[in-house]
Structure 1
Amino acid sequence: MTSSPDATSPAPEAAPTAPAPARRRPSGRAVATWVSLVAMCGLLLGGMFLPVPYVIEQPGPAIDVLGEHDGERVLSISGAEQYPTTGSLMMTTVSVAGGPGYPVTPAQVIGAWFDSSESVLPRELVFPDGQSEEETSLRNSADMTTSQQDAVAVALTALGMAYHQDVMVAGVLQGGPADGVLEPGDIVVSIDGQSRTTTADYQKLTRAAPAGQDLTMVVRRAGAETTVQVPTEQVDGTTRMGIVLAPGYEFPVDVTVTVDGVGGPSAGTMFALAVYDELTPGSLTGGAAIAGTGTMSADGQVGAIGGIRQKMVGAREEGARFFLAPAGNCDEVTGHVPSGLAVVKVSTFDDALAAVETIGTTGSADSLPTCGS
Structure 2
Amino acid sequence: MNKQRKLRKLPAGIGGMWKWPVCAAIIMTLLLYVPTPFAAYEPGIAISTKPLVQAVAPDSPGEGTFLLTTVKLTYANFWMAIRSAWDHNIELFMKKDLLKGKTAGEYQQRLSVVMLGSQTDALEAAYRKAGIPYKIAPYALVVSEAGPGGNAAGSRGLLTGDELIEVGGVAAGSMSELIESLDGLKPGQEIDASVVRNGKQVTVHIRPQQPADMAGSAADQAAAALGVKQLTELRHVVPDDSTRSVAIDAEGIGGPSAGLMFALQALDELTSGDLTGGYKVAGTGTIDPEGRVGAIGGVGHKVVAADRAGAELFLVPERNAAEAAGKAREIGSEIKVIPVATLDDGVLALKRT
TM-score scaled to structure 2, two decimals?
A: 0.68
Shift in Å at residue 343 of structure 1? 0.6
Corresponding residue pairs, total: 285
- Alpha carbons 2:43, 2:301 under 8 Å: kept: yes
Match of 2:349 in 1: 355
Higher helix share: 2
Shift in Å at residue 321 of structure 1? 0.9
- Structure 2: which amino acid aligns with 1:150? D
Match of 1:163 in 2: 134
Q: Indicate how the Cα distance of structure 1 residues 198 and 354 shifts in structure 2: closer, same or farther if over 3 A, else same.
A: farther
Match for 2:336 among 332, 342, 349?
A: 342
Match of 2:152 in 1: none
Match of 2:107 in 1: 136
Distance, in Å, in 1 between the alignment partners of 2:292 and 2:334 is 28
Q: Indicate how the Cα distance of structure 1 residues 202 and 151 shifts in structure 2: closer, same or farther if over 3 A, else same.
A: farther
Q: What's the secondary structure of 1:351's corresponding residue?
A: helix
Q: Indicate how the Cα distance of structure 1 residues 85 and 328 shifts in structure 2: closer, same or farther if over 3 A, else same.
A: same
Q: Which has the larger radius of gyration?
A: 1
Match of 2:72 in 1: 95
Distance, in Å, in 1 between the alignment partners of 2:180 and 2:137 is 11
Q: Indicate how the Cα distance of structure 1 residues 178 and 127 shifts in structure 2: closer, same or farther if over 3 A, else same.
A: closer
Match of 1:61 in 2: 45
Shift in Å at residue 197 of structure 1? 5.6
Q: What's the secondary structure of 1:90's corresponding residue?
A: strand
Shift in Å at residue 251 of structure 1? 1.6
- Alpha carbons 1:58, 1:310 under 8 Å: kept: yes
Distance, in Å, in 1 between the alignment partners of 2:47 and 2:25 is 44
Q: Indicate how the Cα distance of structure 1 residues 76 and 240 shifts in structure 2: closer, same or farther if over 3 A, else same.
A: farther
Shift in Å at residue 244 of structure 1? 4.8
Deviation readout 1:303-348 (Å, 9 max, x if unpaired): 1111111111111111111100111113422421141211111111
Q: What's the secondary structure of 1:92's corresponding residue?
A: strand
Q: What's the secondary structure of 1:259's corresponding residue?
A: coil
Q: What's the secondary structure of 1:251's corresponding residue?
A: strand
Give the 5 Å matches for 1:182-221: 192=170, 198=176, 201=179, 204=182, 214=194
Match for 1:83 among 48, 59, 68?
A: 59
- Alpha carbons 1:112, 1:118 under 8 Å: kept: yes
Q: Indicate how the Cα distance of structure 1 residues 123 and 172 shifts in structure 2: closer, same or farther if over 3 A, else same.
A: same
Match of 1:7 in 2: none
Q: Indicate how the Cα distance of structure 1 residues 203 and 107 shifts in structure 2: closer, same or farther if over 3 A, else same.
A: farther
Gapped regions of structure 1 (runs ≥ 5): 1-40, 67-72, 99-103, 217-228, 360-373
- Structure 1 moving runs of 4+ over 4 Å: 41-49, 170-173, 176-183, 193-197, 207-216, 235-241
Match of 1:23 in 2: none
- Structure 2: which amino acid aligns with 1:153? E
Match of 1:319 in 2: 310
Match for 2:324 among 302, 324, 333?
A: 333
Q: What's the secondary structure of 1:336's corresponding residue?
A: helix
Give the 5 Å matches for 1:1-373: 48=31, 49-66=33-50, 73-78=51-56, 81-86=57-62, 87-98=64-75, 104-129=76-101, 131-169=102-140, 171=142, 192=170, 198=176, 201=179, 204=182, 214=194, 230-234=201-205, 244-246=231-233, 248-252=235-239, 253-337=244-328, 338=331, 339-359=333-353
Distance, in Å, in 2 between the alignment partners of 1:195 and 1:122 is 37
Distance, in Å, in 2 between the alignment partners of 1:194 and 1:125 is 33
- Structure 2: which amino acid aligns with 1:50? V
Distance, in Å, in 2 between the alignment partners of 1:215 and 1:310 is 37
Gapped regions of structure 2 (runs ≥ 5): 1-23, 145-156, 209-224
- Alpha carbons 2:142, 2:162 under 8 Å: kept: no
Kindly, what percent of the aligned residue pairs are identical?
28
- Alpha carbons 2:142, 2:234 under 8 Å: kept: no
- Alpha carbons 2:293, 2:341 under 8 Å: kept: yes
- Alpha carbons 2:110, 2:160 under 8 Å: kept: no
Q: What's the secondary structure of 2:256's corresponding residue?
A: coil
Deviation readout 1:341-361 (Å, 9 max, x if unpaired): 1111111111111122223xx
- Alpha carbons 2:38, 2:92 under 8 Å: kept: yes
Distance, in Å, in 2 between the alignment partners of 1:139 and 1:180 is 7
Q: What's the secondary structure of 2:323's corresponding residue?
A: helix
- Alpha carbons 2:137, 2:238 under 8 Å: kept: no
Shift in Å at residue 297 of structure 1? 1.4
Distance, in Å, in 2 between the alignment partners of 1:194 and 1:214 is 9
Distance, in Å, in 1 between the alignment partners of 2:246 and 2:163 is 18
